[in-house]
Amino acid sequence: MEQVKCECGHVNPIGTVLCEACGKPLEEVPALLDMRYEGSARRSQTYNKTIIDKIWNFFSSVKVGVWLIVITLVASAIGTIYPQQMYIPPTVSPAEYYEQQYGLLGKWYYALGFHDLYSSWWYMLLIALIGVSLVICSLDRVVPLYRALNNQRVTRNEQFLQRQRLFSRAKVKHDETAFRNVVDKLTKRGYRVREENGNILAEKGRFSRWGPYVNHIGLIIFLIGAMLRFVPGMYVDESMWIREGEIKEIPGTNGKYFLENKKFIFEVYEKEKEKEAFQAAIDRVGSGMMAKNYQTDVVLYERVGPVVAGEEPKLKKIKSFSIRVNEPLKHDHYALYQVDFKLDELKSMSFHFTDKETNKSFGTITVDLIQPEKEYDLGNGYKVQLLSYFPDFYFDENGNPNTRSKVPNNPAFVFKMFAPDRPKGEVSFTAIRQTIEPLGNNKYKMAFANIETRNVSALTVRRDFTLWILGVGGAIFMIGLIQGMYWNHRRVWIRRMNDEVLVAAHTNKNWFGLKKELEGIFKDTPFVMPIDQADKRS
């Protein structure tokens, strides 16, 4: 490796600005030294031979890192202009939706992947490049900085001292008691004092210099955690709708677990039911206006035996539980969270088999809206056949009755009614508040009698093995932040040269605090308090 030898004898890596040992400037420098990275050689800026070096050097630049962050910020901001894909109606194709709603801009928004920003390849690439920049920038700075701080000598070059921001030079007679006094005061304030030929280097809080790098390590761990979510099995995020009384497979568990919804409960704060203390608050928002509880009472089952999808499962009860908001059901690293609900979904409808003229009823049928029967026999020659069933009825563009979904939002039926005097049957199309008799006038009708409803609960299924990694990363991030924020790296040099004494001091932040500290230390001593040369200049 090419090297630069300082006149003090220390051998520095090429590109070094200030000698690691004595601090003597090895290049042209401004009158006040730039003490960032201790004037150490950022190697990336000195070697530029191979393609690997070139890539490395590109990412080693803080400027590049800042630009990457700025670009990411701008992209994120643009991503908030139109709704993200998850917020557009699920029934429409996003390709059409964005263009229809927002025109040409919307089309490009979709084409460039802004509609699903966090999953678009270029956004992920940006985040990844920030990660690369973090690693390389840190490595390229922390190693030379460590070397420089580790190699620094007590006796520093005159040039180094007089170009520090805080500096004084004065003729001071040697006074051992005064000297000891200063050393004592420095020690009392937490400085580690090193002496060499009557010169002093007092230093404290060096570990705060590592704060940013610890912080970056935390960020990298966090990014690795986020990356692991894409490894199969590490992260499950599914959702399920389950009606009261239903037993359903829990998605994301590979057919292993089933859930039964016993009951969904929705409660509100009501005036009469709460304690006196809450009355005023309830009055303010209105009685019954504020939700109090969303709860699903469930039973968790495990499937016994081999999993064959579709087969009627043999189930073993594991536990009963009441899932409430922020109180998930947890089992086998899975967690089921209450996330949504639908009150009073239609469950069944009852009809009277009625003579239109006399209004006489010949019996009542109850049609289950999830799995209706094909035939309902009322006895005495009266029976009803269900020819067609449309759970979510509408007339399609050809004018035919059709269904929008399998959810019984608007059920409609084609009944065929048989009676002793109508052995061939009469056909009736029956929907809510609508009856059509397509084959002429009927004698009988299916008169609406009653409905039964039930609630539906929506749950989120989560399993996340990356959470602890994100936690560790976050904790290290905070430790690094605190380390760099709440401590300062302060150094005081005192050098005796012939009959003069040079005093210089440096801190990486909070110059005001350092000055106050030094005033206390040099008060009532023959040493001259260093002057802030940055002040003098302005």
Partner 1 sequence: MKEKRFWLRTVILAIMLAAIGYTIYSNVFVEKKAIQVGDSAPDFVLTDLNGNKIQLSDYRGKGVFLNFWGTWCKPCEKEMPHINSQYNVYKNEGVEVIAVNVGEAKVTVQTFVDRFQLTFPVVIDQQDQVMNAYDINPLPTTFLIDKDGKIVDIITGTMTEEDVKKYMERIKP
Minimal distance, residue 354 CB to partner 1, in Å: 22
All residues at 6 or more sequence positions from 39 whose CB lies less than 8 Å from its CB, including other chains = 16, 17, 18, 23, 25, 29, 33, 148
Q: What does 230-264 look like in DSSP terms, one character per residue?
A: TSTTSEEEEEEEEETT-EEEPTTSTT-EEEEEEEE
Cβ proximity to partner 1: between 353 and 393 the closer is: 393
Q: Which residue has the tokens 């170009």?
A: 163
- Stretch of residues binding partner 1 (CB under 8 A), selected from 28-36, 77-85, 113-121, 445-453: 113-121
Q: Which of 28, 277, 309, 379 binds partner 1 (CB under 8 A)?
A: 309
Cβ proximity to partner 1: between 459 and 492 the closer is: 459
Kindly write out the interface string for residues 268-307 of this chain, putting x where it contacts partner 1 by CB under 8 A and - elsewhere.
----------------------------------------
- Stretch of residues binding partner 1 (CB under 8 A), selected from 23-31, 114-122, 170-178, 472-480: 114-122
Q: For residue 256, state whether it binds partner 1 (rule: CB under 8 A).
A: no
Q: Rule CB under 8 A: which of 375-404 touch partner 1?
A: 386-392, 402-404
Q: For residue 243, state whether it binds partner 1 (rule: CB under 8 A).
A: no
Instruction: Tell me how far apart the alpha carbons of residues 174 and 172 are, in angstroms, rounded to a whole number.
Output: 6
Cβ proximity to partner 1: between 326 and 371 the closer is: 371
Instruction: Tell me how far apart the alpha carbons of residues 67 and 73 are, in angstroms, rounded to a whole number.
Output: 10
Q: Which two tokens stand for residue 473?
A: 């990363």
Instruction: Tell me how far apart the alpha carbons of residues 183 and 499 are, in angstroms, rounded to a whole number.
Output: 20
Q: Is the dihedral of CA 156, 160, 163, 165 positive or negative?
A: negative
Q: Which of 326, 371, 434, 498 binds partner 1 (CB under 8 A)?
A: 371
Q: For residue 406, state whether it binds partner 1 (rule: CB under 8 A).
A: yes
Cβ proximity to partner 1: between 241 and 341 the closer is: 241
Q: Which residue has the tokens 């620094």?
A: 152
Minimal distance, residue 173 CB to partner 1, in Å: 49
Q: Which residue has the tokens 């010169």?
A: 199
Minimal distance, residue 50 CB to partner 1, in Å: 6
How long a stretch of residues is the chain?
Answer: 538
Minimal distance, residue 220 CB to partner 1, in Å: 10
Q: Which of 30, 89, 305, 310 binds partner 1 (CB under 8 A)?
A: 310
Q: For residue 311, state whether it binds partner 1 (rule: CB under 8 A).
A: yes
Cα(first)–Cα(last) distance of the chain, in Å? 42
Cβ proximity to partner 1: between 29 and 224 the closer is: 224
Which amino acid, one-letter code, is at 1?
A: M
Beta bridge partners of 433: none
In this structure, what DSSP letter does residue 38 have?
G
Q: Rule CB under 8 A: which of 424-483 touch partner 1?
A: none
Residue 261: other Cβ atoms inside 10 A: 24
Cβ proximity to partner 1: between 326 and 398 the closer is: 398
Q: Which residue has the tokens 């399920």?
A: 240
Pairing of strands 531-532, 314-324: unpaired
Q: Which two tokens stand for residue 93?
A: 């194709």
Distances, alpha carbon 537 to alpha carbons 31, 165, 518, 531, 534, in Å = 11, 11, 21, 11, 5
Q: Which two tokens stand for residue 518?
A: 């030094």
Q: For residue 372, state whether it binds partner 1 (rule: CB under 8 A).
A: yes
Which amino acid, one-letter code, is at 157?
A: N
Q: Which residue has the tokens 């016993």?
A: 262
Minimal distance, residue 45 CB to partner 1, in Å: 14
Are the C-beta atoms of residues 220 and 259 closer than 8 Å to each other? no
Q: Is the dihedral of CA 302, 308, 313, 314 positive or negative?
A: negative
Minimal distance, residue 372 CB to partner 1, in Å: 5
Cβ proximity to partner 1: between 131 and 328 the closer is: 131
Q: Rule CB under 8 A: which of 122-161 touch partner 1?
A: 124-125, 128, 131-132, 135-136, 139
- Stretch of residues binding partner 1 (CB under 8 A), selected from 4-12, 117-125, 467-475, 484-492: 117-125
Cβ proximity to partner 1: between 63 and 406 the closer is: 406
Q: What does 490-505 look like in DSSP terms, one character per residue?
A: EEEEEEEETTEEEEEE
Minimal distance, residue 467 CB to partner 1, in Å: 18
The count of chain residues that interact with partner 1, using the rule CB under 8 A, is 51
Q: Which of 48, 119, 293, 359 binds partner 1 (CB under 8 A)?
A: 119
Q: Rule CB under 8 A: which of 27-56 touch partner 1?
A: 43, 47, 50, 52-53, 55-56
Interface residue list for partner 1 (CB under 8 A) = 1, 43, 47, 50, 52-53, 55-56, 119-121, 124-125, 128, 131-132, 135-136, 139, 224, 227, 230-231, 247-249, 251, 254-255, 308-311, 313, 369-372, 374, 386-392, 402-406
